[in-house]
Every structure is written in C-alpha cells, then in structure tokens.
A and B are shown apart, each in its own frame.
Chain A
Amino acid sequence: MQRYSQQVCHSAKHFFMRKLYPVLLIFLFSSCIRDNQQNSNDRTDTEAFVPIYASLLANTDTISLEGVRSTVRAGKIYAYANYIFQNEENEGIHIIDNSNTDRPKKIAFLRIPFNTEIAVKGNYIYANNNSSLMVINMQDPLHPAIVRTVKDVFPARYQEYPPERGAFVCPDSSKGKIVYWELRTVKTANCRR
C-alpha cells in the first residue's frame, strides 16, 4: 500500500517535472510577455488624429439612398419645407419627415461620403463631397438625384495637420489626398501641433 503510494508520489513528481514544469515555464514566460505588452500599452496608447486617405476608400463620390439608421456622430441641422435634415458627420444626411409635427420621423438616409454641410434652395440640396459640390434634386426625398457635380470647389484642406490642435499621426503625402482626420487610439502619434 505504502509502496503504491510512493509510486504515485513518484509518478506525480515525474509528471510535474516532465510535463507541468515546461507548461508552467511557458505560462510564466507568456505572462511576462503580456506584462511587457501591458506596460508598453500604458506608455504609448494615445488619442490622436489619424489621416484618412481618399485613395484607400472606395466609392467616395457615389451617393445612395439607404434605410434609416441611428445617429452616431450628430452633425448640423437644416430645416426645409416639411423636412429636417441632420448631417451624420462624414457619412451623409438623415432625412426626417416633419409633415406631421406631432410625429416627426426618419424616413431615409442619404449617403454622401465625407459630407459635413448642407444648404437647401428650392428643391435642391447643396452638399460637399470631397472636393466637389453636389447638387441633388430632393423634390421627392425618396428618389434623390444628382443633377450636377461641380468639381474642385473645395480644394483639399488640412493636408499637413488636422484642424484641431494636439497629437496626430504624421501624414504621408505619397498616399494621396487626406479627406478627413479621425480621432483614434493609436500606438504612435509622432506629430503634434
């Protein structure tokens, strides 16, 4: 009985040395790595503006009418006739039907890449899209149509640095035009203004 238990003990020791120990080592080692990463995260993770390049994005000049969606980055508002428009920053325009003022409701989302501003005259929306001015017929808001695109109205701005002061990721001019700057958490923000 005793012999048996010794054997068990021995084999347990053996098991520990041969199998568990390396595992333990790996565990210790990996936890070391994690700690290091954690430390380096603490040191370098920072909020900074990151340049977003037009060349890396698809369909930057195509508009489309989409279903209603939640407002995430609420932008400027504009009222016209029975409609209220609210910009979704850099994404497009929420269209709200206000013909029943007791029950205004979103009816559609007009996707206009990199749009930040709108103005309306007659049934036409003027909206910025990259460097172009788009004229969109909104007589029937559920069937918007681009009637004209005036190119090069808005020359590229903020190509060297973002509009807001603070840390930012240095732009790389070889990647082409920057369409906007997005605040993100990044490892390295090597420029500052």
Chain B
Amino acid sequence: MKKIIHLIVIICLLSGASCTKDSNTSSFSTAGTGGSLARFAIAGNYLYIVDKSDLKIFSIADASNPILKNTTYVGFNIETICPFKDKLFIGSTSVVHIFSIDNPERPVKLSTAISPQVLRRCDPVVAKDSVAYATLRTSGECGGTQSILAVYNIKNITQPVQVNTYPVNEPYGLGYSGSALYVCDKSKLLVFDIRNGYNPVLVKSASDGVYIDVIPYNNVLICWVSDGMILYNITNRLDPKLITKIN
C-alpha cells in the first residue's frame, strides 16, 4: 500500500509539478474531453514538446523563431510534460520518465517510475522549497477511500515523504502565493494558511463556481471554472475577494 501511495505521489508530482502555477514560464494541462493533440512546456529558453513517443527540444532564445535542437525518444504513449526545477517529468499512460535538463538541449533520462494507469487522473502538485502539496482524488482510477490534500517533504525530489494530509471532497488544481495555498475542490475554493508549510490550516472557502485550476498572479487569483473564469483580489492572500466572473 505504501508503495502504491508513493507511486501515486510520484506520478502526481510528475504529472503536475507546479506546472500550471508558474504563470510566466509554463504550459501544462491534462487532456480534456475530446483530447488534445499537443503537449508543450517552456523552461528557460527552451520549448519542450512531446508527441506520441518523442521529446522535441526547441530553442526559443529568439522567441519569434523556435529552432529544433534535438529529438529524443522517450517511450510509448506519452501524454504529459512538465518542468520542475532542473528536471523534466514526462508522463505516459503507464509510466513516468524523469529527465535531467542540466544540459537543456540534451535531456538525460534519470529514471522511469512504473505506475498504475493513474497519471491523467491525479492532480497537480505545487512545490515550495522543500514542501510539496498534492491533491489526490479518489474518483476515476486514483483509488483510495478519501480524497486528500497531501503534504510532502521533498528534500529528495525522487523520494517524496508524506508528512501530513487533509481530507477534501473532489480536488483538482491548486496553487500558492505567499502564505496562502489555494485548492480547487469542485464547488469550493479552499484557502489554507501555509505559514507553517508542513501543516496547512484551512482559513476560508469560496463557492462561486466549479473550480478546476488556479493561477495566483500578482494580486489576482485567476480561477479556471467549468464555465469560464473567476477572478479574486488576493492583496490579502488569506482573504480572497471576488472581483468578477468572466464567461
């Protein structure tokens, strides 16, 4: 069981690690209904694109002119890509490949984590220094009996250690800014105080839509909801104030 939890953690880490959160540099989303034909992410001056089996590395030092630098075979049925610190996490339907991008043009495969087919079912993790937060959903193929917000010590990125959990309903994306962690929990947006990073404390919740993901962006919390977008003023990080809905 512990093994499975670890696998799920790793998979979730890999499937989402901070990807949707760093609004200036990254690009990541799980496949929606109808399917997406593309997967790409920006890390530094490079645009990484995965297709069915290959990783393509484009230099975007000149942003207007992507230049293909390299193509590396990764494996079967590649679905997602996500940069996290100096690593690339590339998820397939069944395994997760970890690449080092110390040399950004020549990613080197460090390891492959074998997993059950849960990659696209689990939700992202955001990492803050040595703490990572993941939402583990029980619906779909993730299994488990209780959806949780899980807290990990990630001093060793390839071996996260779960240090705390918080029961939630049906969580999706999450993001943090300063002292606050925002968790999309279907019809609720949960606001946690993370001044003690390993022990989040729920301080507020909002229920203005069906929340899918969030991007804290300066003093605005941008929420992707099922029918569009909701914006909150987060000048006070722990007390989001509704600005407007856009749909």
* Residues of A in contact with B (beta carbons under 8 Å apart): 49, 70-71, 73-80, 84, 86, 89-90, 94, 96, 98, 101-106, 114, 116-119, 121-124, 126, 128, 130-131, 133, 135, 137, 147-148, 150, 153-158, 162-164, 179-183
Closest CB in chain A relative to B126 CB, distance in Å: 15
Closest CB in chain A relative to B189 CB, distance in Å: 14
Question: Across the interface, which residues of B come within 8 angstroms of A122, CB to CB?
Answer: 63-64
Q: Are B217 and A104 in contact (CB under 8 A)?
A: no
Chain B 28-62 near chain A by CB (<8 Å), digits 1 or 0 = 01011111111111100001010110001010100
Beyond the given A119-B40, A148-B65, please list 12 additional residue pairs across the A-B interface where CB-CB is below 8 A.
A71-B229, A76-B29, A77-B213, A80-B24, A98-B231, A101-B231, A102-B243, A104-B231, A116-B38, A130-B37, A154-B49, A180-B34
For this complex, 12 residue pairs linking A to B, each with C-beta atoms less than 8 Å apart, are A49-B34, A70-B247, A71-B246, A101-B233, A106-B246, A119-B26, A126-B60, A133-B49, A135-B63, A147-B64, A162-B35, A163-B36
Q: Are B227 and A156 in contact (CB under 8 A)?
A: no
9 tightest Cβ-Cβ pairs between the two chains A and B: A128-B38, A119-B27, A122-B63, A163-B35, A71-B228, A116-B36, A79-B23, A76-B29, A79-B217
Chain B 216-228 near chain A by CB (<8 Å), digits 1 or 0 = 0111101011111
Question: Across the interface, which residues of A come within 8 angstroms of B178, CB to CB?
Answer: none
Q: Are A164 and B229 in contact (CB under 8 A)?
A: no
Check: B244 CB closer than 8 A to any chain A CB: yes
Closest CB in chain B relative to A58 CB, distance in Å: 19
Q: Are A123 and B63 in contact (CB under 8 A)?
A: yes
Question: Across the interface, which residues of A come within 8 angstroms of B23, CB to CB?
Answer: 78-80
Known: A124-B63, A135-B65. A77 touches B37 (CB 8 A): no
A13 to B25, CA, bound (A): 85
Q: Are A86 and B26 in contact (CB under 8 A)?
A: no
Question: Across the interface, which residues of A come within 8 angstroms of B144, CB to CB?
Answer: none
Known: A74-B228, A116-B38. A157 touches B52 (CB 8 A): yes
Q: Are A76 and B20 in contact (CB under 8 A)?
A: yes
Known: A74-B226, A126-B40. A157 touches B51 (CB 8 A): yes
| Residue picked from A106, A119, A130, A179, most chain B C-beta under 10 Å | A119
A119 to B66, CA, bound (A): 13
A103 to B245, CA, bound (A): 10
* Residues of B in contact with A (beta carbons under 8 Å apart): 20, 23-27, 29, 31-42, 47, 49, 51-52, 56, 58, 60, 63-66, 68, 212-213, 215, 217-220, 222, 224-229, 231, 233, 243-244, 246-247
A106 to B244, CA, bound (A): 12
Question: Across the interface, which residues of B come within 8 angstroms of A89, CB to CB?
Answer: 32, 34
Closest CB in chain A relative to B37 CB, distance in Å: 5
A14 to B172, CA, bound (A): 73
Question: Across the interface, which residues of A come within 8 angstroms of B42, CB to CB?
Answer: 119, 121, 126
A4 to B120, CA, bound (A): 84
Q: Are B49 and A183 in contact (CB under 8 A)?
A: no
Residue of A nearest to B229 (CB): A86
